A and B are shown apart, each in its own frame.
Chain A
């Protein structure tokens, strides 16, 4: 029962991961700053998932990256590309629609339950 619940939760979270990451990349971020940013908003993400995900997004041309060597140690910064911005807007709309629909469904279920 607990395992099953866990796997459902993981699945749900995995689906929203791309959206969560894209939403934070309006301004350039490096890997660890992004982790902290997400954690502050309560989104827990495995670091071993996040860094590879950033590279994948780069490969899909949703983000661009650049090395900043001016600081004490070099950091790789990621930022949304034009294509990424476009995708983010559409994904956001999709999310709004979906969560609205689902909330409606869940409310309906609650009413039925109380009957």
Chain B
């Protein structure tokens, strides 16, 4: 008897309160039905073995979904996560970056702040990522259990019809602009914009600060006042770059017009780059002197090396710009339907 009662308890404690008593009674009477009138402990055990794991039995009784997100919503759930996560993380990082910069300026430019900055940055990303995951999961969990059909979440909100195909834009893989590309170019714009306006004088030559924590700046590489004097052009340029990226994102694929805009952008970019890099006082005067000192060479020699570096930079910027413009046109030409393509060549 003892075994039976424990078994019944093991099942019923896993069940909702209002069904517990009834199921317990029924289960007990069923088990007693299985046994002969005079039964031993062995009989009890073999009867219970036949019924199997009480947890599995309770599962069958509960008759409720034993999953968080069911197959009907799983796809939507995943694509929502993929869409929301990068945006959320991007904004978190941007805000954190700006906040930290303001704080950094207040600490009188103490570079040990950087370590703290990275640590807290990683923590921020994890924290926000988990939050976003939790809330999205919770929303889908509630939607699924409130009896919404998966198709109601689709863009039409109705069951699928063949006419829906009209609204689908099919983008061949080679023609597509992927989200990673868009994201990294936004990130790149944010980084170079920030560095340009706030930290250009921190790009330089450093050495250990003689027993004190942090590093000591010997000389910046660039002439900050020259670079900052170009700020209106740079601001316009940042705007254009962001606009182009967003335009690409919305389009999602290369078109003739986008390829054209992209080419204009690259011409402007190359022009701006040439304009800045060809300024005679681009570099900080101390930088040349210092380089001359450590490499034990004359100022003329340092300058000729600098000329070489500038030459290589110009060549590589022109080449990458030309290549990127060309790629844009090439991808814009890709046709969706391979048969159509062969027809047109007839």
Contact = CB atoms under 8 A, between A and B. Distances in A.
Interface of A: 30-33, 46-49, 51-53, 55-56, 59, 73-76
A31 B26 CA distance: 8
Contacts of A76: 25-26, 29
11 contacts: A31-B29, A32-B30, A32-B33, A47-B30, A48-B51, A48-B52, A48-B53, A51-B57, A53-B60, A55-B23, A56-B63
Contacts of A47: 30, 50-52
A43 B14 CA distance: 29
Contact of B57 (A32, A33, A52): A52
A31 B57 CA distance: 15
B-side binding surface: helix, strand, loop or mixed? helix
Given A47-B50, A75-B29, 19 more contacts: A30-B30, A30-B33, A31-B29, A33-B33, A46-B52, A48-B51, A48-B52, A48-B53, A48-B60, A49-B60, A51-B26, A51-B30, A51-B57, A52-B61, A55-B23, A55-B63, A59-B63, A73-B32, A76-B25
Nearest to A32: B33
B63 A52 contact: yes
B217 interface: no
Contacts of A75: 29, 33
A46 B50 CA distance: 8
A56 B64 CA distance: 11
Contacts of A52: 57, 60-61, 63
Contacts of A59: 63
Contacts of B33: 30-33, 75
Interface string B50-81: 11110011001101000000000000000000
Interface string B162-202: 00000000000000000000000000000000000000000
Given A31-B33, A73-B32, A48 B26 contact: no
B29 A55 contact: no
A74 B50 contact: no
Nearest to A54: B26
Contacts of B25: 74, 76
A102 B289 CA distance: 93
Contacts of B26: 31, 51, 76
Contacts of B50: 47
- Select the residue from A30, A48, A56, A76 with max chain B CB neighbours within 10 A: A48
A32 B34 CA distance: 7
B52 to A, nearest CB: 5
B138 to A, nearest CB: 28
B60 to A, nearest CB: 4
B27 interface: yes
Contacts of A73: 29, 32
Given A48-B57, A49-B60, A55-B23, A31 B30 contact: yes
A51 B27 contact: yes
A76 B30 CA distance: 9
A75 B205 CA distance: 90
A67 B309 CA distance: 94
A47 B23 CA distance: 14
Contacts of B29: 30-31, 73-76
- Select the residue from A33, A51, A59 with max chain B CB neighbours within 10 A: A51
